[in-house]
């Protein structure tokens, strides 16, 4: 076996060893699982023929390369006229309560909610790369500066500016059971058309974002404020008997699946006992990619499923 082949196999093993970490990095950068996998493929094509024998910190080296690939992808995305959208909801990581996938669990080890990914979408590509690499994955500023082709001082400014914008996003309550209780109350009030009860579980400045994609573009919207959101939720009363509890990016969520066919997934950010964000994906092009099997409800329940 040639030396070059030995080195290629060694590098392949190192890349696979860090693959879960690199996928987590790319997902936070891009908010899309498909694009994250594309980024890893592109990163591998960049490094497979390189001499990595002198690399002292393999994970940091690979992370920086993935960051550079994601930066280019974010810049290309910004150049497309249809991006960004006020209604865009990043790809959720969805699990049934009793079936958390180990790889997805590792992907969300430090728990990043959809609401935070929405905030990250609003950052410039360079700000997002600087923040994700520095604040979430503790990559040294010097390495990030190399990836961004900026000075250390400029990179520090990018990370600081992004941090200030991210600090305004709500953090979910750490207790999943408490989150679930609030979400349950939301669906019960919605089913009953109880406007006052809805107002008690919604934060005053709650934000609702619905992404219908191209096929359900008419369903896409963004609302802010408890009254506006409470009024809108009444329009979905007929769907609530088909609500199933799920875990979305580590937080309480819901899947709506009439007849077992997935119609929507809803992510909730519950802070201080109230719902601060609702992010709903109803895009029929993207929902099948979640690969979420929901058994049909054989008999319509009189009360909503426990959340």
**One domain for residues 195 and 250:** yes
Domain-located, residue 230: yes
Q: What is the CATH number of the domain that holds 38?
A: 1.20.140.160
Q: Is residue 307 part of a domain?
A: no
Same domain, 205 and 272: yes
pLDDT of residue 197: 94
Give me the pLDDT at residue 104, please: 59
Residue 69 belongs to some domain of the structure: yes
- Does residue 97 belong to any structural domain of this protein? no
The pLDDT of residue 130: 95
User: Per residue in 173-204, pLDDT tens?
Assistant: 889 999 999 999 999 999 888 999 999 999 99
* One domain for residues 197 and 286: yes
Residues 258 and 186 reside in one and the same domain = yes
Q: Are residues 9 and 29 in the same domain?
A: yes
Contact 92, 281 (CB under 8 A): yes
Phi and psi angles of residue 30, each rounded to the nearest 5 degrees, phi first = -110, -20
Residue-level pLDDT at 295: 66
Which of 114, 148, 166 is the endpoint of a domain? 166
Give the structural domain span for 186. Answer: 176-290
pLDDT for 51:
73
Helix (H, G, I), strand (E, B) or coil at 23: helix
**Residue 233: strand pairing partners:** none
d(CA 40, CA 37): 5
- Please identify which residue in the block is written with the tokens 């935070």: 116
Q: Are residues 231 and 282 in the same domain?
A: yes
Residues 162 and 191 occupy one common structural domain: no
- Shared domain for 150 and 207, answered yes or no, is no
What are the pLDDT digits (tens) for 19-34? Answer: 999 999 999 999 998 9
Number of domains in the chain: 2
CB burial of residue 148 (10 Å; 0-12, 13-18, 19+): buried
Residues 267, 251 contacting (CB under 8 angstroms): yes
CATH (domain of 194): 3.10.450.50
Q: In whole angstroms, what is the distance from residue 89 CA to residue 75 CA?
A: 19
* pLDDT score of 16: 92
**Rounded alpha-carbon distances, angstroms, from residue 107 to 28, 145, 281, 301:** 10, 25, 20, 35
Same domain, 198 and 56: no
Residue 52 sits in the same domain as residue 189: no
The whole-angstrom separation of Cα 167 and Cα 171 is 9
* pLDDT recorded at residue 305: 40
Q: Which residues of the chain have pLDDT under 50?
A: 1, 299-307
Phi and psi angles of residue 271, each rounded to the nearest 5 degrees, phi first: -130, 130
Taking the C-alpha atoms of residue 145 and residue 153, their distance in angstroms, rounded to an integer, is 9
Residue 204 neighbours by CB distance under 10 Å: 11
Give me the pLDDT at residue 281, please.
96
Q: pTM score > 0.75 for this model?
A: yes
Same domain, yes or no: 132 and 217: no
- What pLDDT sits at residue 306? 38
Same domain, 162 and 143: yes
* Domain finish residue from 133, 166, 199: 166
Residues 6+ apart with CB under 8 A from 80: none
CB 224 within 8 A of CB 251: no
Please check whether residue 181 lies inside any domain of the structure: yes
- Would residue 213 count as lying in a domain? yes
């Amino acid at each position: 076996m040639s030396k070059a082949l030995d080195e290629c196999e060694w590098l392949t093993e190192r890349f696979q060893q860090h693959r879960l970490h690199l996928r987590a990095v790319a997902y936070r950068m891009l908010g899309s699982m498909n694009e994250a996998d594309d980024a890893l493929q592109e990163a591998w094509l960049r490094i497979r023929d390189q001499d990595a024998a002198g690399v002292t910190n393999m994970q940091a080296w690979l992370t920086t390369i993935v960051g550079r690939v994601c930066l280019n992808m974010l810049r290309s995305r910004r150049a497309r006229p249809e991006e960004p959208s006020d209604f865009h909801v990043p790809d959720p990581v969805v699990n049934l309560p009793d079936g958390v996938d180990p790889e997805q669990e590792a992907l969300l080890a430090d728990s990043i909610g959809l609401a935070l990914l929405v905030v990250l979408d609003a950052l410039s590509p360079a700000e997002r790369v600087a923040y994700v690499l520095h604040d979430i994955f503790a990559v040294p500023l010097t390495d990030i500066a190399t990836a961004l082709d900026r000075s250390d001082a400029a990179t520090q400014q990018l990370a600081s500016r992004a941090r200030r914008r991210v600090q305004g996003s709500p953090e979910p309550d750490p207790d999943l059971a408490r989150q679930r209780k609030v979400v349950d109350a939301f669906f019960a009030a919605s089913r009953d058309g109880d406007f006052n009860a809805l107002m008690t579980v919604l934060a005053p400045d709650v934000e609702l974002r619905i992404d219908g994609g191209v096929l359900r573009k008419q369903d896409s919207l963004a609302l802010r404020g408890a009254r506006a959101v409470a009024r809108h939720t009444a329009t979905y009363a007929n769907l609530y008997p088909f609500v199933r509890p799920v875990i979305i990016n580590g937080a309480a969520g819901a899947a709506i699946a009439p007849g077992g066919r997935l119609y929507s997934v809803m992510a909730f950010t519950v802070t201080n006992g109230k719902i601060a964000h609702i992010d709903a994906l109803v895009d029929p092009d993207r929902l099948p990619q979640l690969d979420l099997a929901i058994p049909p409800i054989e008999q319509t329940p009189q009360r909503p499923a426990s959340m």
